Chain A
């Protein structure tokens, strides 16, 4: 796997959620991602970035444009040093929310991308990595 481009931007306040979506849209369209796939990726980013702000107490989004076996992908990592998630299975259940959401963010984001990795533990923060290939 080669990393063609990479960077990082803060996801601290709600306006950062909009900025995260805008950057993702630009990265994906620069790589020639199809509109439907791009829309799915941007929607997943919106869900995860909002979780980072609302539950994680703010964090960062690392981004990469990667190449592997002749294909290009956009990979994003959302990380925070918030409370973490105690019950991963529950958090990955459709409709489960600890707040007033629909409980669709994590599960929905997972369905919208090609690769999804959730790494979290109480007191250790949360890290979610997603990849969408072109």
Chain B
């Protein structure tokens, strides 16, 4: 079964979305990730979308759901690596992703997460 890998980096989880996602894959990732947060007690989740050349309302909704679920499980979500053309398109599409933080790249995202969870 096709799956998006979830990497553990200390107390954070890193998900790199690289494939042209279809709906089933997106839904499976949502399940896998909540599972992993529960089992690793992760405090933060980084979603790297630098390889995505498009984010539509379906993927947007998935990101918002992951971030909402993470928050309930006491973990923060940071979205990293959004391509400029994707960002411009999202605004016009009308997708605002309230409550989802973004960072330029994984490094900055990690930095932001550490600050958020109170680690220097």
A: residues with CB less than 8 A from B are 14-15, 17-18, 21-22, 25, 35-36, 38-40, 42-43, 46-47, 50, 94, 101-102, 104-105, 107-108, 111-112
Contact = CB atoms under 8 A, between A and B. Distances in A.
Interface residues of B, number: 23
Contacts of B22: 14-15, 17-18
B57 A47 contact: yes
Interface of chain A: mostly helix, strand, loop or mixed: helix
B61 A18 contact: no
A43 B93 contact: yes
Contacts of A36: 84-85, 88-89
B20 A112 contact: no
B55 interface: yes
Contacts of B89: 36, 39-40, 43, 112
B23 interface: yes
B20 A101 contact: no
18 contacts: A17-B23, A18-B20, A18-B22, A21-B20, A21-B54, A36-B85, A36-B89, A38-B85, A40-B89, A43-B56, A43-B89, A46-B54, A102-B60, A104-B93, A108-B92, A111-B92, A111-B94, A112-B92
Given A36-B85, A101-B58, 16 more contacts: A14-B22, A15-B22, A17-B22, A18-B22, A21-B20, A22-B20, A25-B53, A35-B85, A36-B88, A39-B53, A39-B89, A43-B56, A108-B93, A111-B92, A111-B93, A112-B89
Interface of B: 20-24, 53-58, 60-61, 83-86, 88-89, 92-95
A16 B14 CA distance: 29
Given A18-B22, A43-B54, A47-B57, A104 B88 contact: no
Contacts of A107: 94
A104 B57 contact: yes
Nearest to B19: A18
The interface centre, meaning the residue of A39, A40, A102 with most chain B CB atoms within 10 A of its CB, is: A39
Contacts of A25: 53
A42 B53 contact: yes
